[in-house]
Structures are given as structure tokens and as C-alpha cells.
């Protein structure tokens, strides 16, 4: 399956200033698969999985000399490791923290060797041993975007159409309905690569649902790997409750009424570091960077993937297939649709930067307003409003544009057609890639 991150990895491969690359992301988003695909472009590909081959850890307990390590790996795996010809892949590197430290010496003493390291719980290992500052590069991976879903399911022509489409014109009605139908499939299947692969091959909703629950159980099983025993019960509670409040302002007293913030907040941080949950931070949005004007105590939460979110909630999913146009209006009151847009914004962001999302809200009595997402484009600030159905009221969007000088236009996503009226650009929900194409520097759509 084609992944947008492959272009980033190819650029890294050919860079003359290349450093060992740490590939970060939640479990089962496709990290190992995409590195193996890159490995096919090398003369040799050596994969070292520290969870499967526990004996290899001993090499990093003795000496961190990269040349000696490579000589011993050649004997163990019976493959040559040659600079400029070999891709050396350390998978599940969090199981051997010393290997993270060793990346510094690979950069300093064997800079011509291509080295990639990945791990589902990598952030926890980095927290313990640190990371060689200035000696490694980072890459952040998300679940498959809707665009990648289209490419994986044989809809390449439609994918090309929506990424290059002019928002000034409506799309032919038959194509618009096709877009909503395909998006309905994505909302059902989600962006976890295993589920997408099975959907492509079988079109079996039940099998996809089983895969979702298997992934969910794997995330639960990971709790004991990074949390204290006293924290596991809080993690389990948060894991089940967060999908119920996606898109809502989080107050711990309402999220889990029986427990205190001091008990829950550290556990929420653990889920964020595991890549399962993403914060959407409040910002006044009067300047760039948006994070400089954020409030750490005001945030919303997104779960990793819309299909996993719905699986935990136990939502009925058949409407996504049977009647996708109405499904966007009624399923979970639009919160799932808002979460989908957030997931898309993360997927099309810069691979080299830690993902971040922001929103804006005004709480004045009689003039409350809220913008679902706000992004930055060069020196411009762009408010984004999500309408799950056909609602056309855009009071919050107009209010934001009137009070923020750096915002010259806003974007609306809805189940309606492309349109452009005054300073509001409207896109169908399936066209986030179209909206961001060439808009945000560093975006994978640029």
C-alpha cells in the first residue's frame, strides 16, 4: 500500500546530510512495513527486532563501537552491512535503550551507513536514556489518511482529482456522491493498515471489526509496559472514556467523576506518549506560532483513529455504507466527523515535526464562539470549521475572521459541494487533501 511518508524516507535516503532516523508512532500504524518497502531499494536490508531477537541486546551492553556492532550483526544475520549499500533497521528499539544511545556513534563514525530505528513505545525509552541531540533525525507517522485509503483501494484517479481540484467550482454530482460513499467506507474501516488491507481484499465489515478490537486489546496489553501497577486502572478508565468526549472540552471532574485530576492527568500523559491520544490545545490564535499562545489547562482530545474510536463506543456502523450522506449528520452528533478532520490534519502535516493541533474559543456571555481547528500557513492563520451535515451557519468562523487580523480567509468542511464565497472556502469532507494542497509549508501535500 502506498504511503505518503515514503517520499519523505526517499528524500532522507538521498540526503548528503543524513542522520540516523528515529521513526515514531503508535503501534500498528505501519512503521515496520514502510521501512521494509524502503529496504527493497538497497543492495542489502538488515532488520534487527529487539523484541524477537533478545540475544542481540548483548551486543549493546558491551561496546557501542558501531563497526564492531556491525561485524557481529553480519555474523548473526549472515548479511553484509556496507555503507551506502545497506539499510540497517533497528525495530522495537525501545526494548534496547542502549541502541538508542549507539545511534550517536553510528552518525559520528559511520555516517555513510543508512540507519533507521523504530518503536511503538519509543518515547518512553527516550525519556529514560535521552536522545543524542543533533545526532539523529525524527519522523512521525500517523494512521493512513483518506487519500492513502483511496490509493490502497484502487481509487487513484479519484484521489488525483480531489487533490488538484479548484474549490471555485462544484464537482459533478455523481462524483460528489462517490466521494461521500468512499469517505463512508473510510469512516467504517479507519486508517489502521491491517484493517485497510483486509477491507481491500474482502469487503468484510465483520473482519475489519475484529481487527479493530484486536488492535484495541493490544493497546490495553501495553499498559503494563509503561505504567505503574497503581496507574493501570486509571489508564483503562481513560481509554474507555476518551472516545466518548472526542471534540469536547475536557474537564477531569466530568471525564471521570470518581477520581481526581492528580490521579488522571499523569495517565493521560502516558496515553499521549504512547501515541494513542492527541491533545487539541486552546490558543488565542493572535500570532504565530499558535502554540506560544496556548493554555495547557484548556484542551480537547482525539483518539488515534476514527474506526477504533467507534469500536470502543460500540456504534452501529452500517449507515456509513448504506446511507453515507445521512450518516455524517447523525452518527454521534458529528463528533466523529470532527475527529476525522483532526486525524486528516495530523496525517498531512510535516513528518519531521511532532504533531500539534489547536482550536479557538470565546466564552463571552451572549457571544460564545468556537473554531474546531486553527492552522498556520506562513504568516497567515486559518480557522477551520467542521459541519457534519448540511448546516450553513458560520457565525463563529465570521467572528474569528473579524477579530484576527492575521486570518484573511477561513475553511469549512461539510458534506456539501466545493464553493468559494467572500472569505470562506468550502470543501467537501473528503477533500482535506485538496484544501491543504500547497497551502501549508512542510505539509506532505506541498
pLDDT band at residue 154, thresholds of 50, 70 and 90? very high
403-406-409 Cα angle (round to 5) = 80
pLDDT digit string, tens, across residues 166-175:
777 888 999 9
Residue 95 lies in a domain: yes
Q: Which helix (H) or strand (E) element contains residue 86?
A: strand 86-91
- In DSSP terms, which residues pair with 89 in a beta bridge? 47, 116
What average pLDDT does the segment 405-427 reach? 92
Query: How much is the average pLDDT of 270-275?
Result: 96
Report residue 160's pLDDT band, with 50, 70 and 90 as the boundaries. Answer: very high
Whole-angstrom distance, CA of residue 281 vs CA of residue 374: 10
* 390 shares a domain with 308: yes
pLDDT category at 323 given cuts 50, 70, 90 is confident
Q: Are residues 124 and 240 in the same domain?
A: no
Q: Average pLDDT in the 203-220 region? A: 96
Q: Within a domain: residue 368? A: yes
Q: Would you list the DSSP string of 228-243?
A: -GGGHHHHHHHHHHGG
CB 39 within 8 Å of CB 71: no
Mean pLDDT of the chain: 92
Residue 315: pLDDT band with limits 50, 70, 90: confident
- Residues 52, 74 within the same domain: yes
Looking at the fold, whether 86 and 222 belong to one and the same domain comes out as no
- Residue 443 forms part of a structural domain: no
**What number is the average pLDDT over the span 157-177?**
88
Is residue 445 one of the residues assigned to a domain? no
Mention every residue, 6+ apart, whose C-beta is less than 8 A from residue 241. 255, 256
Please check whether residue 442 lies inside any domain of the structure: no
pLDDT (average), residues 227-256: 93
Assess whether 132 and 164 both reside in one domain: no
Residue 245 has pLDDT above 70, yes or no: yes
Q: 233 with 85, same domain? A: no
Number of domains in the chain: 2
> What does the pLDDT read at residue 282?
96
The pLDDT confidence band at residue 442, using thresholds 50, 70 and 90, is: low
- Residue 441, in any domain of the structure: no
Answer yes or no: do 280 and 402 share one domain: yes
CA distance 239 to 270: 11
The secondary element (H helix, E strand) that includes residue 326 is helix 324-330
> Is 440's pLDDT higher than 60?
no
195 in a domain, yes or no?
yes
- Same domain? 302 vs 191: yes
Predicted confidence (pLDDT) at residue 265 exceeds the cutoff of 80 = yes
**443 pLDDT more than 60:** no
Stretch among 108-117, 204-213, 230-239, 356-365 having the lowest mean pLDDT: 356-365
Tens-place pLDDT, residues 333-362:
579 999 999 999 999 999 999 889 999 999
Mark which of 82, 107, 140 sits at the end of a domain. 140
Residue 445 has pLDDT above 80, yes or no: no
**Helix or strand (DSSP H, E) at 173:** helix 173-189
Q: Are residues 159 and 293 in the same domain?
A: yes
Do residues 91 and 193 both lie within one domain? Answer: no
The Cα 112–Cα 98 span in angstroms is: 21
Q: Are residues 220 and 128 in the same domain?
A: no
Q: Provide the residue range defining the domain that includes 241.
A: 146-436
With a cut of 80, say whether residue 399 has pLDDT above it. yes
The enclosing domain of 36 has a CATH number of: 3.40.50.300
How much is the pLDDT for 309?
96
Q: Give yes or no: residues 362 and 298 share one domain.
A: yes
| Domain C-terminal end among 140, 160, 184 | 140
Distances (CA, A) of 419 to 183, 383, 411: 19, 16, 10
Q: Within a 13 Å sphere around the CA of 173, how many CA atoms are in the beta-carbon half?
A: 0
| Residue 289 pLDDT exceeds 80 | yes
Structural domain ending residue among the three candidates 84, 116, 140? 140
> In this prediction, what percent of the chain has a pLDDT beyond 90?
76
On whether residue 446 sits in a domain, the answer given is: no
Q: Residue 150 and residue 237: Cα distance in Å, rounded?
A: 35
pLDDT for 378: 80
- Average pLDDT for residues 63-84, to the nearest whole number? 96
Are 324 and 184 spatial neighbours (Cβ–Cβ below 8 Å)?
A: yes
Amino acid at each position: 500500500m502506498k504511503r505518503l511518508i515514503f517520499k519523505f524516507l526517499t528524500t532522507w535516503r538521498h540526503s548528503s546530510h543524513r542522520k540516523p532516523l528515529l521513526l515514531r508512532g503508535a503501534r500498528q500504524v505501519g512503521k515496520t512495513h514502510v521501512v521494509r518497502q524502503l529496504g527493497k531499494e538497497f543492495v542489502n536490508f538488515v532488520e534487527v527486532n529487539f523484541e524477537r531477537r533478545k540475544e542481540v541486546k548483548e551486543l549493546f551492553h558491551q561496546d557501542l563501537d558501531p563497526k564492531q556492532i556491525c561485524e557481529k550483526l553480519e555474523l548473526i544475520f549472515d548479511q553484509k552491512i556496507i555503507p551506502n549499500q545497506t539499510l540497517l533497521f533497528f525495530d522495537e528499539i525501545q526494548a534496547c535503550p542502549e541502541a538508542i544511545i549507539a545511534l550517536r556513534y553510528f552518525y559520528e563514525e559511520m555516517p555513510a551507513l543508512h540507519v533507521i530505528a523504530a518503536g511503538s513505545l519509543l518515547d518512553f525509552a527516550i525519556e529514560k536514556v535521552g536522545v543524542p541531540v543533533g545526532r539523529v533525525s525524527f519522523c512521525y507517522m500517523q494512521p493512513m489518511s483518506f487519500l492513502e485509503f483511496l490509493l490502497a483501494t484502487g481509487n487513484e484517479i479519484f484521489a488525483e482529482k480531489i487533490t488538484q481540484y479548484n474549490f471555485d467550482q462544484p464537482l459533478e454530482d455523481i462524483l460528489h456522491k462517490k466521494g461521500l460513499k468512499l469517505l463512508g467506507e473510510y469512516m467504517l474501516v479507519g486508517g489502521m493498515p491491517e484493517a485497510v488491507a483486509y477491507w481491500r481484499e474482502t469487503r468484510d465489515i465483520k473482519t475489519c471489526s475484529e481487527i479493530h478490537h484486536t488492535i484495541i486489546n493490544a493497546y490495553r496489553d501495553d499498559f503494563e509496559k509503561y505504567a505503574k501497577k497503581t496507574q493501570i486502572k486509571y489508564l483503562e478508565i481513560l481509554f474507555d472514556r476518551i472516545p466518548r468526549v472526542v471534540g469536547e472540552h475536557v474537564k477531569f471532574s466530568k471525564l471521570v467523576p470518581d477520581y481526581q485530576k492528580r490521579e488522571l492527568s499523569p495517565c493521560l500523559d502516558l496515553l499521549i506518549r504512547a501515541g494513542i491520544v492527541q491533545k487539541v490545545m486552546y490558543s488565542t490564535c493572535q500570532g504565530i506560532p499558535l502554540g506560544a499562545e496556548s493554555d495547557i489547562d484548556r484542551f480537547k482530545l482525539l483518539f488515534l483513529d476514527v474506526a477504533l474510536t467507534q469500536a470502543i463506543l460500540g456504534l452501529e456502523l452500517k449507515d456509513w455504507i448504506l446511507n453515507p450522506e445521512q450518516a455524517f449528520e447523525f452518527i454521534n452528533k458529528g463528533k466523529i466527523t470532527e475527529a476525522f478532520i483532526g486525524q486528516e490534519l495530523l496525517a498531512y502535516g510535516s513528518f519531521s515535526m511532532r504533531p500539534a493541533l489547536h482550536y479557538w474559543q470565546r466564552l463571552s456571555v451572549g457571544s460564545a464562539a468556537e473554531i474546531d481547528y486553527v492552522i498556520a500557513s506562513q504568516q497567515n492563520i486559518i480557522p477551520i470549521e467542521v459541519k457534519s451535515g448540511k448546516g450553513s451557519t458560520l457565525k463563529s468562523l465570521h467572528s474569528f475572521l473579524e477579530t484576527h487580523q492575521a486570518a484573511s480567509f477561513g475553511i469549512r468542511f461539510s458534506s456539501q459541494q466545493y464553493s468559494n464565497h467572500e472569505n470562506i472556502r468550502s470543501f467537501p469532507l473528503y477533500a482535506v487533501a485538496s484544501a491543504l494542497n500547497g497551502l501549508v509549508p512542510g505539509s506532505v501535500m506541498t
